[in-house]
Structure 1
């Protein structure tokens, strides 16, 4: 089994990661400082920055232009998982970058591993640039380990043109989703409403959280793990039923085969996050304007709450010799208008209040260019996000275990609920072996 672990010194994270409401607000650029309490060196401070994604290069260029006393070099060392693993190795060797992007769900494990610096002494001036819930995504027990960059409230991304051709409507509930999935298969046997992707740990976690699941909680230094709780098992059973009836196709996302069928209009939705239209535009540019977003289907009619899928913070490493300058960089990158304008233009939903307000009056992403109410739906999704979502200290272990177990279940036609139970047991065993106190089985 392909199990990886971000192991390190044992610590307890007493505050849960949280994501919640988007509302109007103001923020501005912060002053630059390259001091860390030692005499300033001649010339500008040079910072090394690790992050992925299309928004980073233009944001860094804008920062460097505005801050002649702090110059940043950005390196893309891979996506979220790759960056976290390489960052841990580099910081342990004492040669990590000054700043790095870390996904919210991975942040607790990186703190436990001792890779990140507490920058609370340098970030008090931007705390109010974010909603309290979003700020708490990077704050634990009074310490601040990063500045929120983007958030991903979950929505249903759908091919509106094909929906209209097939005379179907976006489903309001997951029960409706199953009915529409059956209707699609009858009307066009080569088409599926959606795919079930075995490797998408974060997506399944979000759907389970929407149903009421809580995968990690900590109280009085004791962890509770709920990856196989009743809500999660019910979600697994739901998708099992769709797979067994051939109403959705169990397959990886974003492969050449999947991309080809998406371009042919044979895959009609992606229950995902607000960053998804940008991803789909990258593989289906000719469908620009054909797609739209709708509220994510509800498990209980009338309950509009959703989880978030994805999102990251800009952190400062413990090995940085320029922590204050790196914190200045992190703040500017996530609160300055020049920075969030880039995010919006390239389809990233900003974490800052001012960025979200600016997004609400901007043009929709190119994939959904003809949807006039795009930002209305996006804003409502952000305002309906479930607070107090906790991530544990071994998310990388959980993700790897989930992917292995679910892929095997799909391949061997065994129950998805058994795969969840196996994942749960492996996560608990790993936490106990690492030294955490875990309640229950």
Structure 2
């Protein structure tokens, strides 16, 4: 019996080793150094772990400023891009469509990618069956709320959108000087995230065509929901990322913010006086019987078309964003509370625990729970800068009283986006419908 047990354990160990080797194949090239651009902090800890496993590959990490402008300049010049470049998921299709990345399917096939990151992540890292990189951090939407405000005014964390409205009106009546929530002027990914969380889309890509339909029933439902609250003056819009917004979060003028998982670390560094007063919950659901979530933000690492060492770069981006040793370092040292890889589940209990800023709440577990509700992808258009500028302009017009009804923004936004796509030469458009 003892012999059988030992043989069984040996079989399991060999099987696990074989599986791990399949995830992370050996490097077949000559000793090399690859370069990486990334704006996150302390990536060097994961790099150190990678270089222990792949001693013939050295990684030179640069944290640069004016990130996207430098990337565009290097792409236009045909030289100057690193081997590996960090890009937000919302901008990745734009870089894919202009040839900034090269495929890494030879070293990371589709089946392995899906096993490590999930099928939905293909929408952020692949196009036309070509895989260009791997996803790193999750932007899964969560509900960040001020527990002190909720306690003082006897508010309940809403679990659905009907309760959400009730709590908004409850606080409005009890403390009209406070804001339950204020949606952003601009920041299109916030609005896209609302529609995505409701189970809808505004656009998609399939079989070489871009589909655009801003006025589908789900998108209209979401804009009608927010529009009613805004039109009647129950809530107001607000410009995010400026001192007034920062102060409203720090001094307790705003009770709720719905943003991606990364916002947990952002609060710690930008609302220091509010330590201990925040908590995190799952976002209020649009469909009571069907839990679902979206991503607001998040970034991946892609192999640039200018890389002369695509094998080394491909091995690195996969190991960086899926190996448990790297995921542990990214969580602990790079301040990334939730990683996309399915293997993050192997280390979540080890790396997460009570968080002082959030009153001792185990936010890692809550954000991981939020991430696991993301079960569909949302492919963005290859003109996201223009998509964002268009919405910002329309929302500002609404705030200035130039647009009377909030829901009128959707068809105006679609018209602007279609015009820009056509102007940039995208003639492969299918309008007013989404793929099956």
Q: Is the pair's TM-score, using the shorter chain for normalization, greater than 0.5?
A: yes
Q: Structure 1 113/299 Cα, relative in aligned 2: closer, same or farther at 3 Å? A: same
Q: Hey, what's the Cα distance between the residues in 1 that align with 2:409 and 2:51? A: 48
Paired residue secondary structure (2:46):
helix
Paired residue secondary structure (1:412):
coil
Higher alpha-carbon deviation: 276-285 or 415-424? 415-424
CA contact (8 A) 1:277 1:367 kept: no
Q: 1:98 aligns with which of 83, 97, 108?
A: 83
CA contact (8 A) 2:143 2:259 kept: yes
Q: 5 Å matches for 1:353-364?
A: 353-361=342-350, 362-364=352-354
CA contact (8 A) 2:144 2:281 kept: yes
Matching of residue 33 in structure 1 with residue 27 in structure 2: yes
CA contact (8 A) 1:194 1:269 kept: yes
Q: Structure 1 289/34 Cα, relative in aligned 2: closer, same or farther at 3 Å? A: farther
After superposition, give the CA deviation of every residue in 1:367-410 in whole Å (9 maximum; x if it has no partner): 325225x4554343223224142322322321221222222222
Q: Structure 1 410/229 Cα, relative in aligned 2: closer, same or farther at 3 Å? A: farther
Higher alpha-carbon Rg: 2
Q: Residue 436 of structure 1: CA displacement?
A: 2.5
The corresponding residue for 2:259 is 272
Q: Hey, what's the Cα distance between the residues in 2 that align with 1:27 and 1:343? A: 19
Q: Hey, what's the Cα distance between the residues in 2 that align with 1:85 and 1:196? A: 28
Q: Residue 365 of structure 1: CA displacement?
A: 4.8
Q: Residue 97 of structure 1: CA displacement?
A: 1.2
The corresponding residue for 1:427 is 417
Q: Residue 114 of structure 1: CA displacement?
A: 0.6
Q: Hey, what's the Cα distance between the residues in 1 that align with 2:121 and 2:206? A: 21
Q: Residue 428 of structure 1: CA displacement?
A: 1.2
Q: Structure 1 331/300 Cα, relative in aligned 2: closer, same or farther at 3 Å? A: closer
The corresponding residue for 1:216 is 203
Matching of residue 394 in structure 1 with residue 388 in structure 2: no
The corresponding residue for 1:181 is 168
Q: Residue 191 of structure 1: CA displacement?
A: 1.2
Q: Hey, what's the Cα distance between the residues in 2 that align with 1:147 and 1:190? A: 45
Paired residue secondary structure (2:179):
coil
Q: Structure 1 59/231 Cα, relative in aligned 2: closer, same or farther at 3 Å? A: same
**Paired residue total:** 405
Q: Structure 1 375/98 Cα, relative in aligned 2: closer, same or farther at 3 Å? A: closer
CA contact (8 A) 2:386 2:417 kept: yes
CA contact (8 A) 2:134 2:302 kept: yes
The corresponding residue for 2:14 is none
Q: Structure 1 197/392 Cα, relative in aligned 2: closer, same or farther at 3 Å? A: same
Q: Hey, what's the Cα distance between the residues in 2 that align with 1:227 and 1:279? A: 31
Higher alpha-carbon deviation: 121-130 or 142-151? 121-130
Q: Hey, what's the Cα distance between the residues in 1 that align with 2:227 and 2:338? A: 32
Q: Structure 1 222/144 Cα, relative in aligned 2: closer, same or farther at 3 Å? A: closer
Q: Structure 1 57/405 Cα, relative in aligned 2: closer, same or farther at 3 Å? A: farther
Q: Structure 1 227/58 Cα, relative in aligned 2: closer, same or farther at 3 Å? A: farther
The corresponding residue for 2:73 is 89
Q: Structure 1 357/254 Cα, relative in aligned 2: closer, same or farther at 3 Å? A: farther
Give the TM-score of the pair, scaled to structure 1.
0.83
After superposition, give the CA deviation of every residue in 1:98-152 in whole Å (9 maximum; x if it has no partner): 1101222222221110110001112249533222333453233321110121222
Paired residue secondary structure (2:367):
helix
After superposition, give the CA deviation of every residue in 1:37-86 in whole Å (9 maximum; x if it has no partner): xxx4xxx52222111122534434554566543332222335xxx64453
Q: Hey, what's the Cα distance between the residues in 2 that align with 1:348 and 1:32? A: 30
After superposition, give the CA deviation of every residue in 1:219-259 in whole Å (9 maximum; x if it has no partner): 45443202333322332232233234443331122321221
The corresponding residue for 2:3 is none
The corresponding residue for 1:159 is 146
Q: Hey, what's the Cα distance between the residues in 2 that align with 1:356 and 1:274? A: 16
Q: Hey, what's the Cα distance between the residues in 1 that align with 2:49 and 2:243? A: 35
Q: Hey, what's the Cα distance between the residues in 2 that align with 1:207 and 1:391? A: 14
Q: Hey, what's the Cα distance between the residues in 2 that align with 1:130 and 1:220? A: 23
CA contact (8 A) 1:27 1:336 kept: no
The corresponding residue for 1:312 is 299
Q: Hey, what's the Cα distance between the residues in 2 that align with 1:245 and 1:367? A: 35
Q: Hey, what's the Cα distance between the residues in 1 that align with 2:376 and 2:221? A: 21
Q: 1:76 aligns with which of 58, 63, 84?
A: 63
Paired residue secondary structure (1:115):
coil
Matching of residue 206 in structure 1 with residue 193 in structure 2: yes
The corresponding residue for 2:325 is 338
